[in-house]
Chain A
Amino acid sequence: MTNFTRRSFTSALALGVAAPAFLRNASAQSATIKIGQVVPITGPAAEAGKYAMAGAKIALDEINKKGGILGKQVEIITEDDQTTNPGAVLAFSKLATNPDIVAFVTSIRSTQVHAMAPDIAKIAKPTMFGGTDPTLTKLGNPWLFRCRPNDTFSGKVIAEFGVKELGLKKWGIVHSTDAFGTNGMKALEASLLALGVTPVAIQGYANQSQDFTPVVLALKQAGIDIISSYFTFENDLGIFARQLRQLGVNAPWVGSPSIVNTTAIKLAGAALNNTYGVADYAEESSPEAKAFADTYRAMMKVAPDNQSSWTFDGMHLLAMAINKAGKTDPDAVRAAMLSIKGYKGAEGEYNFDANGDGLHGYNVVKNVGGKIEFAKHIEFPA
């Protein structure tokens, strides 16, 4: 039997302590540049996960066609987050153990990004995400870069559009009680208060509800003349939209981005006609958005939405930052990412601020008989 001496114990300990640093810097040796993607392949968001993978794949093909990153071809390694927080943490941990992965594209769901954030800080590599909870870029975690506008902007745009454009003052807010929904609601409420409007009804619901009658009746009783919403899952949005119209509430509705998702429109059908949504991605908002839509539609045979546009941008931004840095060293890539100004992606124009927020505005779109029409873009200074 081998003797376990104090020296071997100390050596093992030293190796264990130093391992993360080795893992962090060992990446440049690989034949390809590897990007890790945490995506829902199973669970309620599996459909959206398919779109997210397609967006990243389109960017990947474009990057590789143009010579890759640092002269090497790029590959994506995906892990299933099972649409759960523990699943996301597990998926990220699995990817983090691969020293060849130089950066990550993670989740569109704020709760999952919150769950993964401590591990992201530990592995200390650039991580793109799409969750819109404003607090995510204020956690003091320097490795998080957001490829969608955060909910402070969506709240501001919803409030501005509803109060100033539509001229409506009796607001009802419906929101999921998860991190995304709650923080979105708080941001919207703050924006409304800033415009001198106090919401008359705020209704939270737990995800995967089967019945929204109590919510709809509460809105009706409060005498609202405009509805705003922060829904996380399209199933919930579909059920709510149908019950809202069935129970005779026909007030104008300005929703968070999920209201213009392909799946939501398919599920809710006519119940979402004439609703407005703030959309970080709108096909007609720019030539770059249109070009992405054409490629995506040819590949997926459905209209693109924000599930795919942000992963598309995230991959391009990573490629640009690493090429700009000239190496895969995380600190250099981070600095290069923060220096990106005026990059026109599918989602909009990226001007990274010190917090890691790339976008600072939203489009307002309208659902006209199931077709999404671009209404206007509202931009705020970075």
Chain B
Amino acid sequence: MDIVFQLLFQGIGIGSVYALVALGFVLIFRATNVVNFAQGEFSMVAAFLMVIFSVDLEWPYWISFILSLGGMAIYGALFNLGVYFPLRHRTYLPVIISTIGASILVSNSTLALYGPQPQVLSNLLDFPGFNIGTVYLDTQYLLIIGVTVVLVAFQYWFFEHTLLGKKLQATSQDKEMASLLGIPVATMIMVTFVYSAMIGGLAGILVAPILFVSIHMGGTIALKAFAATIIGGFGDVAGAIIGGLALGVIETFGAAYVSVPYKDGFAFLVLVAFLVFRPQGIFGERVAEKA
């Protein structure tokens, strides 16, 4: 039974990372109707910023953390201006290609600037973990789970109970109508990119002590997060969270009880099953309609 709890904890932990990145996917999708394939690089860039501030410059962890998130806010704004804004009146295809291009550009620029060597980022907390019975709880995973819960609550409050959140929702539902009502659509999309980059960056910073900081860290997570958004329902915030957690738990249990080498296979098997039998995902609308 202890093994089940251990696997469950680990599955929820890794699932929370997928969920955080998936959240970023969903927010941008809702605002712009396109999938941002450079979402994984948000995580990677933030982790590298963290390495620069806290490891290279040896600044305190919290200052580095705030500076990295601040850097991600600027990065999100620049990303919007450079990748989405010039193509905003075109169909979804050029924008998707633009995000793929940005993804390649950013990861290769990081490689050129920082070199290929994977970097080590220490845990936020000094003690790595503790046991409850025979179940080991990694404090970094606990932190990730905690942050996911807080962010979900914050997101619910922000979108449902603040004027800015409602404006963002209106923009995502119908840009023309929102514009007619005096909502500055371009600004709202800018805010979405900034927020999404910060969430993706947060996921990257949190997962970096576990998976190490490398230019490939974003791609691996983003692929799973993308699957999570489809499982949960594209465009649905709750769906992204449930999808991410489900994916983490399914692949962990699948690996333990069926086959470790085919671990990634379970995640994508579930993805294919959803695309065939329930393309709208658990909560969302049909992908075909959105895309």
Q: How far is the CB of A120 from chain B (nearest CB, A)?
A: 26
Q: B116 to A49, Cβ gap below 8 A?
A: yes
**Which residues of A are found within 8 Å of B138, using beta-carbon distances?**
246
Is there an interface contact between B220 and A214, defined as CB atoms closer than 8 Å? no
| In the assembled complex, B156 has its CB within 8 A of some CB on chain A | no
Given A213-B10, A214-B255, residue A42 in contact with residue B212 (CB < 8 A): no
For A29-63 the 0/1 string (1 means CB < 8 A from B) is 00000000000001110110110000000000000
In the complex, what residues of B have CB within 8 A of residue A234's CB?
A: 118
17 contacts between A and B (CB under 8 A): A47-B118, A50-B115, A177-B261, A206-B262, A206-B264, A209-B263, A210-B220, A213-B10, A213-B252, A217-B6, A217-B7, A235-B212, A239-B210, A239-B211, A246-B136, A247-B6, A247-B136
Residues of B within 8 A of A47 (CB): 115-118
Contacts A42-B108, A217-B3 known; A267 to B260 CB distance under 8 Å?
no
List the B side residues contacting A213 at CB < 8 Å: 6-7, 10, 252, 256
Q: Which residues of B contact A (CB under 8 A)?
A: 3, 6-7, 10, 14, 108, 111, 115-118, 120, 128-129, 131, 134, 136, 138, 210-212, 214, 216, 220-221, 252, 255-256, 260-264
Q: What 19 additional pairs, Cβ within 8 angstroms, besides A42-B116, A214-B255, A215-B255? A: A42-B108, A46-B111, A46-B115, A47-B118, A204-B261, A206-B262, A210-B210, A211-B14, A213-B256, A214-B7, A217-B7, A218-B256, A221-B3, A234-B118, A235-B118, A235-B214, A239-B210, A247-B136, A267-B120
Nearest CB in chain A: distance from B80 CB, A: 28
1/0 per position for A188-231, CB-CB distance to B under 8 A? 00000000000000011110111101110110010000000000
Which chain A residues have a beta carbon within 8 Å of chain B's beta carbons? 42-44, 46-47, 49-50, 177, 203-206, 208-211, 213-215, 217-218, 221, 234-235, 238-239, 246-248, 263, 266-267, 269
Chain A contact residues: helix, strand, loop or mixed: helix
When A and B form their complex, what is the total count of cross-chain residue pairs whose Cβ atoms lie within 8 Å?
A: 87
Residues of B contacting A238 in the complex (Cβ-Cβ under 8 angstroms)? 118, 212
In the complex, A212→B276 CA distance in Å? Answer: 30
- What are the residues of chain B within 8 A of A210 when measuring CB–CB? 14, 210-211, 220-221
B220→A208 contact, CB < 8 A: yes
Other-chain contact of A206, B10, B14, B134, B261 (Cβ < 8 Å): B261
Residue of B nearest to A40 (CB): B116
Give 9 closest A-B pairs by Cβ, nearest first. A46-B116, A214-B256, A214-B255, A213-B10, A177-B261, A47-B117, A47-B116, A204-B261, A206-B261
Is B210's CB under 8 angstroms from A266's CB? no
A373 to B92, CA, bound (A): 58
Establish whether residues B263 and A206, one from each chain, have CB atoms under 8 Å apart when the complex forms: yes
What residues of B have a CB within 8 angstroms of the CB of A42 in the complex?
108, 111, 116
Report whether B7 and A246 are in contact in the complex, using a CB–CB cutoff of 8 Å: no
Q: Which residues of B contact A215 (CB under 8 A)?
A: 255, 260
Chain B: minimal CB distance from A173 (Å): 13
A208–B252 touching, CB < 8 Å? no
Cα A204 to Cα B265 with chains together (Å): 14
Q: Which residues of A contact B14 (CB under 8 A)?
A: 210-211
Q: Are A267 and B116 in contact (CB under 8 A)?
A: no
Contact B260 A205 (CB under 8 A): yes
Within the complex, the shortest CB–CB distance from B113 to chain A, in Å, comes to: 13
Name the one of B116, B136, B220, B221 contacting A248, with C-beta atoms under 8 angstroms.
B136
Residue of B nearest to A42 (CB): B111
Which of A49, A211, A214, A218 has the largest number of chain B CB atoms within 10 A?
A214
A203 to B259, CA, bound (A): 9
Residue A269 contacts which of B10, B120, B131, B256 (CB distance < 8 angstroms)? B120
B136 touches A263 (CB 8 A): no
The answer for the CA separation of A42 and B104 in the assembled complex, in Å, is 12
Residues of the B chain whose Cβ atoms lie less than 8 Å from the Cβ of A203: 260
How far apart are the CA atoms of A263 and B213 in the complex, in Å? 13
Would A267 and B212 count as touching, CB distance under 8 A? yes
Q: How far is the CB of A177 from chain B (nearest CB, A)?
A: 4
A214 B260 Cβ-Cβ under 8 A: yes
- State whether A44 touches B260 (Cβ < 8 A): no
Chain A residue contacts of B10, Cβ below 8 A: 211, 213
Taken together as a complex, chains A and B put the C-alpha atoms of A267 and B255 apart, in Å, by 24
Contacts of A205 in B (CB 8 A): 260-261, 263
Determine the chain A residues whose CB is within 8 A of the CB of B134 once the complex forms.
248
In whole Å, how far is A200's beta carbon from the nearest beta carbon of chain B? Answer: 16
Q: Are B220 and A246 in contact (CB under 8 A)?
A: no
Q: How far is the CA of A50 from the CA of B114 in the complex (A)?
A: 13
Whole-angstrom distance from the CB of B236 to the nearest CB of chain A?
25
Bound CA–CA A266/B118 (angstroms): 9
Cα of A70 to Cα of B168 in the assembled complex, Å: 72
Least distance between A108 CB and chain B CB atoms (Å): 15
Q: Report chain B residues within 8 Å CB of A221.
A: 3
- Measured between C-beta atoms, what is the minimum distance from B143 to chain A in Å? 15
Q: How far is the CB of A80 from chain B (nearest CB, A)?
A: 11
Query: Residue on B with the closest CB to A206?
Result: B261
